Amino acid sequence: MRPRSPHLVRGLTAAAALTLVSGLGVAVASQASAAAGCRVDYSVNQWNTGFTGTINLTNLGDPITNGWTLTWTFPGNQHITNGWSGTFNQSGQNVTVTSPSWSSTLGTNATANLGFNADYSGTNTAPSSFSLNGTACTGSTPTNPPTTTPTTPPTTTPTTPPTTNPTTPPTTNPPSGTKVDNPYVGARGYVNPEWKAKAESVSGGSRVSNNPTGVWLDRIAAIEGTSDSSSNGSMGMRDHLDAALDQGAGFIQFVIYNLPGRDCSALASNGELGTDELPRYKSEYIDPIASIESDPKYRSLRIINIVEIDSLPNLVTNTNVATCATMKANGGYVQGVGYALNKLGAIGNAYNYVDAAHHGWIGWDSNFGPSADIMLEAARASGNVNNVTGFITNTANYSALREPYFSISTTVNGTSVRQSKWVDWNQYVDELSFAQAFRQKLVSVGFNSNIGMLIDTSRNGWGGPNRPTAASTSTNVDTFVDQSRIDRRIHAGNWCNQSGAGLGERPQSAPASGIDAYVWIKPPGESDGSSSLIPNDEGKGFDRMCDPTYTGNERNGNNMTGALPNAPISGAWFPAQFQQLMANAYPPLS
């Protein structure tokens, strides 16, 4: 949500990682008639005395329906300390992993992803073989010869191919417990009926009310549902999940947002948990969420978790703020995010996207690399980087998706646009170029190469009569940028209920290289914060950046805030804002 100072640097060094990949044959023995055959891809990220092991188990034979057991023998003194996506047991060098209760089936060509943390000394040699349900294999489906020799040949030879191709994969969702590369592809999103009703209460709202939006779990009470209407209404997690099943939705999006000391450098979205309440976060917030998401009733849904907005980047740029310094010192953000990723990543149909701020916050070199490093630190705290499906940028913010009339390489009369007051030496001028570049940086520090990015486009359209239609002809770099830019905020540091904003690109899957989806995680029409102090029982304070009369501070260059007046507390319905977002939508609404 918030832009942060680009000048506060925190250097983090990622632990060195060594990856060993071994494609090993594994046998399947499920039912008496099932053909055996499967593959194991085994890899490790290791350090001096420990390592994280990752196993991707692919069934090449008939479906397994009654549970699976994977076994192997370590060649050295490796000792597993904890594991996920299976029940791990070790006796000496022998390891047995049984399928979790929520993922006891493994269809043909389906893959189970499991992993573990372990310690060792000496040489960490990979296991030489695996077996599944007691049978070893060579990595392919064996062809068994007939037990008797046919006495007569076939009387005819087919001259035409079959009318159907039995090798064509089905178009339905993969088997339960099998994660797809991009959960947005081929799936219809859940439409929150509470937001839909609010949208349709405003004239013209029915034009966009059937778009999927994020469901924000911004306090413990939101898990079970609340009776008030100030923020998330009365529906709890199970209510939303049941409604998603009724809709026939393919995916549902939850915002996991309740860290201790939440949003440490702002006030409007402070949370209910104090800086020292990490145990409550784990036991009263994350554990109940994980329990609900792992209910087999919801196996058919792809459950997408947007993990902790405005957290990790604060540890890079804002440790001059006392609360942020505390959260850096006590590890609450890193350990909290790590715990959430661990618990939710173990669920076979759940997908975790970690918040990665936006280009106006960490687009400077001093913030770009350190932010990637601390995100890797949190992922490793979860036990495995595989717990991260991807990252999301621009959540609840206003940064333009594209600036069509200039790029970071544009010069004006020999002067780079980076020298303009608006760009302020940033390396990026829009969100798409930033998200694609940050994805590559994340992969380079140790995240999987198949991670995808999400961009929240719920309020970054910047259409309407004030939208530029061509590049400026000015030879002054500041004038050129100000007249050419799509983002019409007074300053890129303004973040609260911005006047003139519009709906952006509608939610869509795989819209650009490296981008899993454009999403509306911040439901359009829900306030960023109150224009004046409004007492509430949700821990949400009053931030002057939401006050339209405030003349600003060092974070927005001492400019006016550009905030709309008469706004309610963050998360509450703000119909005047929704009307403006529709009026300024780009692409325009019909």
β-sheet bridge partners, residue 187:
none
- Alpha-carbon distance 369 to 356, whole Å? 12
Those residues whose C-beta lies under 8 Å from the C-beta of residue 286, and which sit 6 or more positions away, are: 256, 339, 340, 343, 344
In angstroms, the first-to-last Cα distance of the chain is 29
Q: Which structure tokens are listed for 12?
A: 């983090």
265 vs 283: CA distance, rounded Å: 25
pTM of the model: 0.72
pLDDT tier at 557, thresholds 50, 70, 90: confident
Amino acid identity, position 269: S
Binding residues: 216, 218, 358, 361, 397, 495, 522, 526
| The pLDDT value given to residue 39 | 84
Quick count: other Cβ atoms within 10 Å of Cβ 160?
5
The residue annotated as part of the active site, out of 310, 373, 456, 487, is: 310
C-alpha dihedral (583, 585, 588, 590), degrees to nearest 10: -50
Beta bridge partners of 130: 72
**pLDDT exceeds 80 at position 169:** no
Kindly report, residue by residue over 61-86, the tens digit of the pLDDT. Answer: 888 888 888 998 999 999 998 777 78
- Single out the catalytic residue among 355, 373, 456, 528: 528
Q: How would you classify the pairing of strands 130-132 and 69-73?
A: antiparallel
Between 210 and 17, the higher pLDDT residue: 210
pLDDT score for 232:
45
Amino acid code (one letter) for 108: T
The CATH code for residues 193-583 is 3.20.20.40
Give the residue-averaged pLDDT of 511-527: 97
**In 3D, which of 15, 84, 10 has the Cα closest to residue 382?**
84
3-state secondary structure of 251: strand
Q: Is 62 a catalytic residue?
A: no
Q: Go through 516-529 and write b for each residue having 16 or more CB atoms within 10 A of its CB, e for each that does not.
A: bbbbbbbbbbbbbb
Asked whether 1 and 395 are in contact (CB, 8 A), the reply is yes
263 as an active site residue: the answer is yes
Strands 251-256, 215-217: pairing is parallel
DSSP string, 22-57: EEEEE----STTPPP-EEEEEEEEE-SSEEEEEEEE
The answer to whether the bond into 587 is cis (omega within 30° of 0) is: yes
* Domain regions of the chain by residue span: 22-136, 193-583
pLDDT band at 1 (very low <50, low <70, confident <90, very high): low
Separation of alpha carbons 73 and 399, rounded Å? 52
Binding residues for substrate: 216, 218, 358, 361, 397, 495, 522, 526
On average, the pLDDT of the chain sits at 85
* Tens-digit pLDDT profile for residues 251-285: 999 999 999 999 898 777 788 999 999 999 999 99
Residue with tokens 């490093």: 373
* Per-residue pLDDT, 536: 84
Question: Coil, strand or helix: which one is 76?
Answer: coil
- Per the annotation, the verdict on 537 as an active-site residue is no
Return d(Cα 243, Cα 256) in angstroms, integer. 19
Q: Give me the pLDDT at residue 265, please.
A: 87
Residue scoring higher pLDDT (82 or 380): 380
Question: Could you tell me the sign of the dihedral formed by the alpha carbons of 24, 29, 30, 31, in that order?
Answer: positive
Provide the token pair at 43: 């890899």
Q: Would you say residue 233 has pLDDT above 60?
A: no
Indicate the fold that domain 22-136 takes in CATH.
Immunoglobulin-like (2.60.40)
Percent of the chain, pLDDT > 90? 66
369's enclosing H/E stretch is: helix 365-381
Answer yes or no: are the C-beta atoms of 405 and 484 closer than 8 Å: yes
Residue 24 phi, psi dihedral angles, 5° rounding: -125, 140
